[in-house]
A and B are shown apart, each in its own frame.
Chain A
Amino acid sequence: MAGTSKRSRVPAHWLLIAVPAAVLLVFFVLPNALLLSASFLKSEAQQLTAVPTLENYRFLLTRPLYLEVFLRTFVIGLAVGAIDVALGYPLAYFLVRTRSRWKGLLIALSLAPLLASVVVRTYGWYIILNRFGIANDALLGLGMIDQRIAFMPSTGAIVIGLAHALLPYTVLTIMGSLNGINPNLESAAMSLGATRTRTFFNVVLPLSLPGIAGGFILVFSIAISAYATPAILGGPATQVAATAIYGFIMQLLDWSLGAALAVVLIVCSLTLLYAASRLGARRAVL
């Protein structure tokens, strides 16, 4: 290991990385490797056997029930990504451009929801959307409905809850990319006679596309693996990948199917994040 060192000393960087790398290998790489291997093993009587099989994947990818789970998870991811880009873009643009005295506070407020757990943020929507909740009270009070409607459990409620929980991520990514645009380009466009609206659509928007794509993919990849929000605002009829994995592992004790579903989720996430990194997006620190 010491390589070129004559005194057969271990290089300094090896000493530095030994312990953290060991921790990551044992408690991150190993568990994921175990999970990968479990997805190719047969489960019998709630125990993993040593029999290799592809049956788990075949089962998940052919049963209409699980295809529906995949489809729902995917649609939720797309919808949440689209909503968060649509809401996050104006906010990010505003925060980058405003000369308000309160700019710092406004940025802090837009990121503050990250300090609350997803459970807490989703609970707010539970209060609003449940059968005896605020939305029903308001609609009844206004006379727009005559009996209470069930807004939840539903896929729509999950989408709203997740869009709310993940909004700060698109704001952060889009702000990053808007800040990277040279203001001179806009001045140039306007001095050549373009209107502000035209400058925005022809100059600013195209230049911030990497931020939009990055934010979308980041939110999509978090949304498809989210557990708490679908568990609270959804139900047995609106299973998503994460709740199905939880069901397999913690309730049915079927490690093989749970692991196979988890591997499918990993593959989706990694593909997306690779795409995002090619687009130059970076993951927010918080």
Chain B
Amino acid sequence: MRSTILSARWRANSGPWALLCSVVAFVYLFSLGPILITAAVSFNETHRSSFPPHGFSFRWWERALAPEWINPLLFSLKLGSLTALFSTLLALPLAFALFRYRFRGRDALVALTLGPLMLPTLVTGVGLLQLFQYVGWREYIGFTALLVGHVVICMPFAVRTVGVSLHTLPPNVELAAGSLGATRWRTLRYIVFPLIKSGVVAGAVFAFIHSFTDVNLSIFLARPGEIPITVKILGFLEFGFAPTLAAVSVITLLLPLILVAIVERVSGLGDFIYGDRDRA
């Protein structure tokens, strides 16, 4: 309530607020402009990526839907989905242990869990490449190595979102279920899991997006024929560029956007990106 009065007073004398608004408009332009320009360029009729676009055509979109681009895109989708699945499956028990038990070595386990978030992803990629070459798993470089690497770097996101929902779950509900005669498993299955479901879904979504947009790890572990879309685009950029690439970029941008929009509608994500908004 107080903040309402405050900001009302802020706006009452609108000089500084108007200034702030114009700065904010500039920041939005800076932030969204390049993405919108990319989208616009993809409808060019000419070979040059000119803006504003000359004419209007879908020819670059047709090229973007050719196997050359669709295959890495499908590869990334498969990789992202499996990464989301495995990192969530691994994160669930880990989050339970970390948020429900006090034990010796818990701090070390927290450090281990958050490690992949703390160390540069690039370094983990180099290390994994060295591991796979050193142990003689060379033939697994490609999809398997990418999946392993992505699961490792995405797990912290899932642990965190599951942890947030476990944290907000009152311990009493479990006790209540127990005192009414439910077994541990039934309590988990019918009480705890439904209540933390949105955290699990949010974790899976973040893992998918993190995997789908990763470059730093993937550049080391990809191999011909098993290339995520980001690495494919990066490689193509070294030889120059065409509006095809703009169309491909827009597709890779839209997929996570659609996913987030759907999940936000169905189970809500906002609390997990920006959880402590109302706790202050």
Contact = CB atoms under 8 A, between A and B. Distances in A.
A120 B127 contact: no
A119 B230 contact: yes
Binding site of B, secondary structure by majority: helix, strand, loop or mixed? helix
Interface stretch (A54-62, A64-72, A258-266): A258-266
B27 A265 contact: no
Interface stretch (B62-70, B148-156, B165-173, B174-182): B148-156
A266 B152 CA distance: 17
A242 B215 CA distance: 12
Interface residues of A, number: 98
Contacts of A225: 120-123, 216
A190 to B, nearest CB: 7
B215 A124 contact: no
A235 B51 CA distance: 24
Interface in B42-97: 48-51, 90-91, 93-94, 96-97
A137 B49 CA distance: 11
Interface in A114-162: 114-121, 123-128, 130, 132-134, 137
B265 interface: no
B220 interface: yes
Contacts of A121: 34-35
Given A13-B101, A124-B35, A21 B220 contact: no
Interface residues of B, number: 100
Nearest to B151: A23
A270 interface: yes
Nearest to A274: B118
Interface string B217-247: 0011000000001100110011001000110
Interface string B17-42: 00011011001101111110110010
A11 B34 contact: no
A249 B126 CA distance: 8
A35 B123 contact: yes
Contacts of A38: 130
A257 to B, nearest CB: 12
A32 B97 contact: no
Contact of A20 (B34, B93, B148, B213): B93
Contacts of A180: 276, 280
Nearest to B202: A285
Given A11-B103, A20-B91, A98 B7 contact: yes
B126 A232 contact: no
B120 to A, nearest CB: 3
A176 B276 contact: yes
B93 A184 contact: no
A11 B100 CA distance: 13
Given A17-B97, A117-B212, A124-B38, A28 B122 contact: no
A1 B229 CA distance: 45
Given A97-B7, A196-B13, A285 B157 contact: yes
Contact of B206 (A88, A104, A250, A285): A285
Interface of A: 11-13, 15-17, 19-21, 23-25, 27-32, 34-35, 38, 87-88, 90-91, 93-94, 97-99, 104, 107, 109-121, 123-128, 130, 132-134, 137, 164, 167-168, 172, 175-176, 179-181, 183-184, 186-187, 190, 196-197, 221, 224-228, 231-232, 242, 245-246, 249-250, 255, 258-259, 262, 265-266, 269-270, 273, 283-286
